[in-house]
Homo-oligomer: A and B are copies of this chain.
Amino acid sequence: MSLGLTVVGSIAIDSIQTPLAKRENILGGSAIFAAYAASLFVPVQMVGVVGEDWSAEHTKLFQQRGIDTEGIEIEKGGKTFRWFGKYLDNMNDRETLDVQLNVLGKFKPKLPESYRQTKYLFLGNGAPSTGLEALDQIHKAELVVADTMDLWINIARSDLDELIRRIDGLVLNDSEAKQLTGEINTLSAGRKILDFGLKFVVVKKGEHGAIFFSRDGLYVVPAFPTEEVVDPTGAGDSFAGAMFAYIVSENGKLDERTIKNALVYGTLVASFCVEGFSIESMEKLTSAVIESRLAQFKKITAF
């Protein structure tokens, strides 16, 4: 099978409380959401680390979607990264109740030999140094996209700056884009990040959609409006994974049609993601279900 998209990132066991429900020991992490979402569009190879508490059932979930899991390293004697989070009443803001880094603390990504020819690399949210190490193992990538977050802007800025110099596209939240640039306007922030030397920047605005910036201009996509928000965890990772995977499915083209479709598919997949805990609602996704929501989205937004 030809390589599609290689996804590197965190693999977690999450315990999550929302105002309406509570779930323990469910799959989470940036690589989990991004890889699963991406697999709806292209073949995916996953790279991450887990501990001995990792269940073979989890791996099977990914293999059933045709995802290559050879890059999931099981560290002997180790425990998988754990995140305990609580969403506030508005279902947007969240508190981290506890973090146990465990094997993620010393994660050095090791790309199986068969992955190193990949043309497309997605660096899910994680330490920028991890991304740099993964990049060092790729022979010749055509398009590399990274997702990042406030934590790395705060504690690993110089690694992040180096990573930005070596990638093509960056995905981050609006508040993070402002933090990274010191700008107060989302557009100014996105444009300034683009000027760091990127081919494109995608600023995620959660329930308000996303803005794509490139030298050719910008595109705006609203979020798909949904009342049924069960768990917002992973929405941003799923958005980014699906978006980039769509671009990969179009051979890495960055023309207007591809970019717009990529943004829309990212948005739709994320809208399914939040309708369940973990990747549960994405597990039921088929092309037909996505295309049906696409038609609905067009009906709601086209003018």
Contact = CB atoms under 8 A, between A and B. Distances in A.
Interface of A: 19, 89-91, 184-188, 191, 205, 207-209, 211, 217-222, 225-227, 229, 260-261, 263-264, 298-303
A85 to B, nearest CB: 18
A260 to B, nearest CB: 4
Nearest to A19: B184
A282 B211 CA distance: 26
B220 A300 contact: yes
Q: How many subunits of this chain does the assembly comprise?
A: 2
Identify which of A19, A191, A225, A303 gathers the most chain B CB atoms within 10 Å of its CB.
A303
Q: Is the interface of A mostly helix, strand, loop or mixed?
A: mixed
A32 B188 CA distance: 30
Contacts of A299: 217
B225 A187 contact: yes
Contacts of A221: 222, 301, 303
B301 A219 contact: yes
A122 to B, nearest CB: 22
A32 B1 CA distance: 65
Contact of A300 (B19, B188, B219, B303): B219
A263 B205 contact: no
Contact of A263 (B227, B261, B303): B303
A127 B217 CA distance: 43
A222 B222 contact: yes
